[in-house]
Chain A
Amino acid sequence: MPFTKAAFYDVDGTLVSTNIVHAYAYYATNRGSLLGIAGRTLATAASVPLFATLDLFNRKVFNEFFYRYYAGLSEDRLLTLAEDMFEDVMKPAIFPKAKDLIDEARRAGCKIVLVSGALDFTVQPLARHLGADDVVANKMQYVGGVATGRVIPPIIEGANKANAIRDYCVREHLALDKSHAYSDSVSDYAMLAVVGRPTAVNPDMRLRSIARAYNWPVLDLR
C-alpha cells in the first residue's frame, strides 16, 4: 500500500548522540597514513573553537565551512569507512528509545525518512539499521573520485530542510499536513513548523520553550 504520510527525523542529537564532527573525526583518524592521520587530527582539533563559534552563529555557514575538511579524501575510502564508522561510532550512540519511536511511526503507516545535515554516506548505514525508507542528506561533490569539500547544493540544513521536506512530500505524493517531524534543535524550527505534526525530541532549552509555546509534544529518547 502506498504511503500517504511520512515521519521525518533529524539524526544528530535526535536519534543519535553524535554529530557531524564525530563522523569527520572518525575519517580524520582513519586517514590511511600516519602523516595523514596526524595532519587531519591536529587540524580538526585546532579548529574545534572555530566550529563551536560558527555553529553558534549560523548552522549553514558551519556546515559549508566544515565540509571543506573532506577535500582530498577518496570516495571509495569514505564509503568503506562509513560502514566502520557506523559500527564504531554511531551504533553505540543511538538513543535507547529511538528504534521504538521509528517502529511506532511505521505502525502508524508513516514512511520513515531521515533528514540530516550530515553527508548521505554517513547516514545510509544508520537508515538501514533503523529500517528507514529513505534519506534526505547532503551529498559531497567528487571530481575524479576525490571529494572536493563542496556539498552539492542546496545544502540540507535549517530552512532548507523544510524546503527539502516540502519537495519530498510533493514528489512522493505525501500529505505534508499529516506528516510528522522530529528534531532536537531550534535550528530545525523550520523543519518542525512545515509539517502538520511536529515533535521536539531531547530538546535544547530554546526548542523546549518553543515546543511548550506551540503545544508540540516533547519526547525524551535518552
Chain B
Amino acid sequence: MRPLKTLKKLYDEESHIVITEKGSPPRVLFSGEDFLLEDLPVDTRVIFPRPPLEAVPNLKAAVRWALNHPEGMEPLHALLRPGMKVTVALDDISLPLPPMKLPDVRQTVLEIVLDLLADSGVDDVHLIVANALHRRMTDAEMKRMVGQKIFDAFHPDRYYNHDAEDPDGIVELERTAHNEVVALNRRAAESDLLVYVNINLVPMDGGHKSVGTGLTNYASLRAHHNPKTIRESDSYMEPARSALHRSTERIGRVIDKHLKVFHIETVLNNRMFDGPVDFLGKKEEDYTELDRLKFEGMKYALSKMPRAAKRKLFFGIPAGYDCIGVHAGATEPTHDKTLELTWKQYSVPVEGQSDIVIFGVPYVSPYNVNSILNPLLLQVMGLGYLFNLNRGVPLLKKGGVIILCHPAYDEFDPEHHPSYIEFFNRLLPETRDAAVLEKKYEEEFARNPSYVHLYRKANAYHGAHPFYMWYWGENGRQHAGKVIVAGAENNHVPAMMGWERTDTLSEAIDVARGFMGRTAHISVVHIPPILQTDVRL
C-alpha cells in the first residue's frame, strides 16, 4: 500500500483532471451570457480548478497581523508621524471578477488602515483608485468598494480616480537603465508614504505592477505595453518568465527609490460562484439532482431573456470570494509571499500539451465589469488571458487549435469602449499586425482629444486601451494554428479577427480534428472559476 503522503500528492495532482469516458456527464461551459451543455469526445481531458482554499478565520486580525509584521519594512504604525502626507491607492473594479460580496476586502483593509492613520495624527490622507488607463469608476462603484462611511468621509475631494491625462497631476521621476519613462500620480509621488491596497486574483497582479502601472500615464505604460515586450513574455502569469514583469520591476524599483511604498496584498480564493449558483464551481460528476434542476432552470430562463437583461442578472450576482491571506511590507518580499499563495490556489499540474484546447468564455473580463464583452474583449479573453493561464508552457501545442465558446456578437458599449469601436471598424479591416497597428495608429488614438476627454470626464477606457487589448492577444495569435469560435452568431466578427466559426462545439471539434488529425489530443479548461495550468512536458 502506498504511504499516505504519496497518496495525498497523487490526489492533489490528479483529482483536478478528468478523462472523458463513455458514461461521463456532459460538461457545462460558459458561452458569453449563456451556457452550453456538451458531450465531449471520449479521451478528452477536462481540467478543473482546485477547490477554494479555506479563508483566513478572522480577516481583520489577519490584516492587523500583516500590518504589524510586514516583510522587509517596519510595521505601518512605526512609519507614521503626525502631520505627514499619506496617499492610499486601491486596485480598481477590474479586480476581483465579478465584484465580490460585501464587504469588499479593500473596505476591510481600509477601515483598519484609516483608523490607524487617524490614531497616529495623520489627517492629510487621500484615497486614489489606481485605474491607470482603465475607465473611471462611477460614484456608485466607488461607494460599493469602500463602504458608505469611508465614501461619505472622503469622496469626492479625497477619494477619486487617478487621472493619467491630467497635465498637472503627473510627475516624471528618473528613467530606468533601459530608458523607460517612470511617471507617477503627483499626489502619490509627493506623499511621505504611499500605501497600496491590492487584490491578487492571478499572479500577474500585484508587486511592482501595482504602483508602476496603476498610478502612471501613457508614456510610462508604453515601455511595456507594446507588441515587442508581449512577444518576449513566455507567460504574463509567470513573472519570472515575463519581459512585461521585468520592465515593471525596473520601473517599480525606481519608484521605491524615490518614494516609501507600503504594500498590503490580499489573496482571494476562487469561490467565484456562491449561493444558488454554487454548482458552477463543481465537477459535473458531483452535481446533485437539485444542481441539475437548478442548471436546467437557469439555462432555460437565460434562453428566454434578452442579452442586456442576462448581463444585468449576472453582474447582480456577486462572487463569494474569501480572503485566504494578507501580506504587507516592501514590494518584493511581500509579493513573493503573495505569489506563493496564489499558485497554491490556482496552479493545476498537467502532464503534456494538447493539440486542441477548448475554453468556454464567460460574460465578464477585467475590462467590462457592468458592460459588454465586445469582440476585442472576446479576443483578449481567448488569446490573452485564457491562453496565457499557465506557468510559461502553454497548454496548447504550437500550431494547435483554440476553440472559444462564445456568440461573438458585434456589440460595443459606446460609453465604456468608444475607442474600441473605431479600432474594430476602422483599423482591423486594414491590418491585424500588432506592430503595424502600434506604429501607425496607437499614438493617434492615445492623443485623440475626444477619447482623452471621455477618459477624463466620463467613464471610457483610454484611447490606447484597445491597442493593449490587441497586443495582449499577440502570443496566443502567434502560437495557435487556428482559432474557432463555436456558436458565433455572425461571420464578420470571427473573420475580422482572422478566426473561423461554427454553429456548435461538436462542429468546431470536427473542424479542429480535420486540421490537427483524427487522433488529436483535446483538453477542455473548465473555467471559470480561474485556474492556471502548470504543464510538464
Query: Which residues of A pack against B, CB within 8 Å?
Result: 7, 97, 100-101, 103-105, 107-110, 178, 180, 182, 197, 199, 212, 215, 217-220
Contacts and interface: CB of A to CB of B under 8 A. Distances in A.
Interface in B443-494: 444, 447-454, 456-458
A219 B167 contact: no
B119 interface: no
B425 interface: yes
Contacts of A180: 448-450
Given A100-B457, A104-B452, A109 B447 contact: yes
Contacts of B422: 215
Contact of B450 (A97, A178, A212, A219): A219
Nearest to A108: B447
| A-side interface mostly | mixed
A73 B451 CA distance: 43
A188 to B, nearest CB: 15
Interface of B: 165, 167, 414, 418-419, 421-422, 425, 444, 447-454, 456-458
B451 A100 contact: no
B414 A108 contact: no
A107 B458 contact: no
Contacts of A7: 449
A7 B454 CA distance: 16
Given A110-B449, A197-B448, A218-B418, 14 more contacts: A100-B453, A104-B165, A104-B449, A104-B453, A105-B449, A107-B167, A109-B447, A182-B450, A212-B414, A217-B414, A217-B418, A217-B419, A219-B457, A220-B458
B216 to A, nearest CB: 17
The 10 A-B residue pairs with the shortest CB-CB distance in the complex, in nearest-first order: A105-B449, A104-B449, A108-B447, A199-B450, A217-B450, A104-B452, A215-B421, A217-B418, A108-B449, A101-B453
14 contacts: A97-B453, A97-B457, A100-B453, A101-B453, A104-B456, A105-B449, A107-B447, A107-B452, A108-B452, A109-B447, A197-B448, A199-B450, A212-B414, A217-B419
A105 B448 CA distance: 7
A100 B456 contact: yes
B448 A219 contact: no
Contacts of B448: 108, 180, 197
A217 B452 CA distance: 11
Nearest to A200: B450
Of A101, A110, A180, the most chain B CB neighbours within 10 A belong to: A101
Contacts of A110: 449
A217 B165 contact: no
Nearest to B452: A104
B414 A101 contact: no
A215 B423 CA distance: 10
A58 to B, nearest CB: 29
B273 to A, nearest CB: 35
A95 B165 CA distance: 20
Given A100-B457, A215-B421, A220-B458, A197 B414 contact: no
A108 B448 CA distance: 7
A197 B422 CA distance: 10
A110 B450 CA distance: 12
